[in-house]
Amino acid sequence: MNFYDKNYPSNTILIKDLPEAIRQKGEQVVSLIKDIEEQKSTSNIKSAIENFPYLNVLFVKENNDIPKGIYFNNNNYWVGYNDYEFLPTDITGIEIGKRITLDNQTFELRESDNVKVWSSFRSFQPIMFFDLFEYHDENSIELPNRGLQHTEVKMIVNNLKKTDTLLPYAKFDKTSKMYTNKSVSCGYSFTFSALFDKISRTYSDQSQMNATHNAILFYIKDEFNNVSLALTYDARNHLWFFNKDRGSDLNFILADNKKYQITLQYINNHIDVIIDNVLIKSFTVELDSKLLFYSIGNDMEYGRYTNGSFVISEPSIYKEALSIQELMHTKNNPRTWNFSKSSGYLDLTLDEKIKLKKMLL
């Protein structure tokens, strides 16, 4: 016979039945969790809300009325986020820091506590940007960094000539120099990019470059020349990449009447040469956390290459390995660095407007 205090409620569990009751409750909890998870990933948003009105996040699968995606409860309505279907489901072999852009939305693969996460971005402002609006004559000048990173790094500019006083274009010539005054580490990835125009083997005084010498577009080195990377062009205007003495013809011919967004991009122990929206070639090189100098048009006294001849604008260094779409946005919409904007040089800062006004007076 079982005895228990009649003052206790009728649903009191006998001690001998406690293990079975716990098991049943556990099964109910597991079942409830499964139901919640199934409702959180549903094609019927109304059913999910009715069954679990306290849910704040839903993943909606195939649905004729609304796109597949993640939806967030905002009290009286739900907000959908569904611009991610283009992301690869299998990330095997995709390096951390890889960026993918579609429809003005960029996702970067990051890692937190050994968990890989696609993070969303809309802006990509450079950590270093050197503004040729601030270069007004042919003398030497130290252009301050106008990018995100607050450093003492400046761009030394010698003997360039502005092609237009109202625009940040300058002619790089036989005696010109353009290089960072200090070395800087960009960590485990970077993008070194600029806009080039009128690339030529002839200088302004009509003298010709030595036919046996390659002319510099980009040069990267460390303090002791253990790193020596050069993007150059030869007498046929063929593009070359040099890692110290090892040169590779990239089978790309530069036209002298075309503008190019030219980029050296580093990530995951390889450096990519990108022209506009085309990946030309990748090279294996170890630059992680190295302190590097960056130059345009000259080899910083390395002595192997001749000066380039071209018009240059928008020299920029980013800590991210930008996607092709981001690079093309910077070419088509200079200085906007954000997909929500589309204006170019006419969208000037207040200081630039004041300078422009003074020039016009």
Nearest to 216 by CA among 315, 304, 327, 317: 304
User: What pLDDT is stored for residue 299 in this prediction?
Assistant: 93
Rounded CA-CA distance 269/277 in Å is 21
Nearest to 143 by CA among 129, 155, 158: 155
Rounded CA-CA distance 166/178 in Å is 21
Rounded CA-CA distance 230/202 in Å is 20
User: What pLDDT is stored for residue 174 in this prediction?
Assistant: 94
In the predicted structure, residue 81 carries a pLDDT above the cut 70:
no
Instruction: Give burial (CB, 10 Å; 0-12/13-18/19+) of 218.
Output: buried
Per the CB < 8 A criterion, the answer to whether 227 and 220 are in contact is yes
Please indicate whether residue 303 or residue 190 has the higher confidence score (pLDDT).
190
- Residue 129 corresponds to which amino acid? F
290-308 per-position pLDDT tens digit: 999 999 999 998 889 999 9
Q: Residue 132, Cβ neighbours under 10 Å: how many?
A: 21
- The dihedral region occupied by 262, where left means phi > 0, alpha psi between -120 and 50, and beta the remainder, is beta
Q: Record the tokens describing residue 292, joined without a space.
A: 């590097």
Residue 354 φ/ψ, nearest 5 degrees: -65, -45
Per the CB < 8 A criterion, the answer to whether 137 and 126 are in contact is no
Per the CB < 8 A criterion, the answer to whether 261 and 313 are in contact is no
Rounded CA-CA distance 177/123 in Å is 31
Give the pLDDT mean for 239-268. 95
Query: Of 60-64, 107-111, 131-135, 328-332, which gets the smallest average pLDDT?
Result: 60-64
In this structure, what DSSP letter does residue 20 have? H
User: What pLDDT is stored for residue 1 in this prediction?
Assistant: 46
126-179 per-position pLDDT tens digit: 999 999 988 877 678 999 999 987 778 999 999 999 988 778 899 999 999 999
Instruction: Give burial (CB, 10 Å; 0-12/13-18/19+) of 61.
Output: exposed
In the predicted structure, residue 319 carries a pLDDT above the cut 90:
yes
Residues whose CB is less than 8 angstroms from the CB of residue 106 and which lie 6 or more positions away in sequence, other chains included? 99, 100, 120, 121, 122, 124, 323, 325, 326, 339
In the predicted structure, residue 354 carries a pLDDT above the cut 80:
no
Per the CB < 8 A criterion, the answer to whether 216 and 306 are in contact is yes
Give the pLDDT mean for 11-32. 68
Give the pLDDT mean for 115-136. 87
Nearest to 218 by CA among 202, 239, 237, 200: 239
Share above pLDDT 90 across residues of the chain, in percent, rounded to a whole number: 47
Please indicate whether residue 75 or residue 302 has the higher confidence score (pLDDT).
302
- The radius of gyration of the chain's CA atoms, rounded to the nearest angstrom, is 29
Q: Mean pLDDT for the chain?
A: 84
Give the pLDDT mean for 214-237. 95
pTM of the model: 0.78
Nearest to 310 by CA among 243, 248, 237: 237
User: What pLDDT is stored for residue 52 in this prediction?
Assistant: 62
